[in-house]
Structure 1
Amino acid sequence: MLKDLVLKNRSYRGFDESVRISRETLEGFVDCARLCPSSVNKQPLKYFLAWEPEEVEKVQGLTKWARALPDMVLPHPGKRPTGFVVICQDKGIDENLSRYQKDVGIVAQTMLLAAVEQGFGGCMIGNFQAGEVMEVLGLPEEIRPLLIVAFGKPAEEIHLVDVPEDGNTNYYRDENDVHYVPKRTLADELLN
């Protein structure tokens, strides 16, 4: 069951905009995330939710997608996510922004697995300017954005393929806009 969820959990960059994500759905994802372990159990992460179209548009405008495809603008028009969770750190709890990077990855993956379980999908986005996000969203100075996670109903085809012999792991799209993600084999990953 978990492996099935992991296989369905891709970095989607195309969504069905007619399927809206509600605040309650995003809160459910965050509720799963808040149960995750936290370094020294400090629990410094806070979450900004965007589900209303105006807020979603604001967050979308702050992000840059698919760095490995510099000539392509993603998501395509009409294929944008319908919700976002901005994962932030409350510097009033702890100012060390690097200490909790593992926590951020754990909670983001947990939210994405919760989304896949409900028929949604998403994408972790680290390509944004934290200061700009703080300003546009009106976040207080002590709340620092660390990662943005997009959510929506997936509307694209993604295939896992073996890494080619040249070792290139960059994802790519074919002429039909099908998304391919190279993955190493288990034998390539094991050290013994």
Structure 2
Amino acid sequence: MLKELVIKNRSYRGYDPKVRLTRDDLLDLVDLTRYTASSVNEQPLRYYIAWEKEEVEQILLLTMWAKALKDMQLPHPGKEPAAFIIICQDMNISSNTTRFQRDVGVVAQTMLLAAVEKGFGGCMIGSFYKPQLKELLNLPEGVEPNLIVALGKPAEKVVLIDVGEDGSTEYYRDAEDTHYVPKRSLKDLVLEAK
């Protein structure tokens, strides 16, 4: 079952606009993060949740998606996410951002796997206008946004393929807007003694 969730957990960049997420949906995802590991158990991460349409639209304007697809606007108009969770670090607890990068990845993946289990999907967004986002969200002093997780009901096709002979891992879209994601083989990942 976990393998199925991992495979379904793609970076979705197109969502069904008719399906909204609620505050409770987002709180359920954030609640799971309380049970994940944290470096030296300091637990400095905090979460800003946004589900109301106007605020989601404002946050969307501060994000940059799919840099490998330079000539394409994603999400496409009308396919925007229904919600965002912004993963922040409370610098008053710890200002060591390097130590907690692992924590950010762990909680983001945990939330996304839970979203998939509920029939939703998402995308981690590391490219965003940080000062403008801090101002928009009116974050408390010392709380810094580190990663944005977009969420919604996926409305696009994502296909996993093997990395080709050229070795390229660049994702791409075809004329039907199907998103292809090359993945390395297991034998390419495992390091063994010779």
Q: Give the shorter-chain TM-score range.
A: over 0.9
Question: What is the CA–CA distance in structure 1 between the aligned matches of 2:33 and 2:113, rounded to whole Å?
Answer: 10
1:87-102 mapped onto 2 (5 Å cutoff)? 87-102=87-102
- How many residue pairs get aligned? The number is 192
The Cα of 1:137 is off from its aligned counterpart by 1.2
1:37-96 per-position Cα deviation (integer Å, ceiling 9, x unaligned) = 000000000000000001111111110000110110100001010000000000110111
Amino acid aligned to 2:43 = Q
SS at match of 1:141: coil
Tell me the C-alpha RMSD between the 2 structures.
0.7
For residue 127 of structure 1, what is the aligned residue in structure 2? 127
1:68-147 mapped onto 2 (5 Å cutoff)? 68-147=68-147
Amino acid aligned to 1:79 = K
Amino acid aligned to 1:186 = L
The Cα of 1:180 is off from its aligned counterpart by 0.2
Question: What is the CA–CA distance in structure 2 between the aligned matches of 1:163 and 1:154, rounded to whole Å?
Answer: 24
SS at match of 1:12: coil
The Cα of 1:17 is off from its aligned counterpart by 0.9
Question: What is the CA–CA distance in structure 1 between the aligned matches of 2:56 and 2:111, rounded to whole Å?
Answer: 18
Q: Could you tell me the TM-score, scaled by structure 2's length? A: 0.97
For residue 6 of structure 1, what is the aligned residue in structure 2? 6
Question: What is the CA–CA distance in structure 2 between the aligned matches of 1:33 and 1:131, rounded to whole Å?
Answer: 25
**TM superposition outliers: structure 1 runs of 4+ over 6 Å:** none
Question: What is the CA–CA distance in structure 2 between the aligned matches of 1:157 and 1:180, rounded to whole Å?
Answer: 9
| Contiguous gaps of at least 5 residues in structure 2 | none
Q: Is 1:60 aligned to residue 32 of structure 2?
A: no
The Cα of 1:141 is off from its aligned counterpart by 2.8
For residue 31 of structure 1, what is the aligned residue in structure 2? 31
Amino acid aligned to 2:76 = H
Question: What is the CA–CA distance in structure 2 between the aligned matches of 1:42 and 1:119, rounded to whole Å?
Answer: 32
For residue 157 of structure 2, what is the aligned residue in structure 1? 157
SS at match of 2:98: coil
1:126-175 per-position Cα deviation (integer Å, ceiling 9, x unaligned) = 00122121011111231100000000000000100010111110100000
Amino acid aligned to 2:9 = N
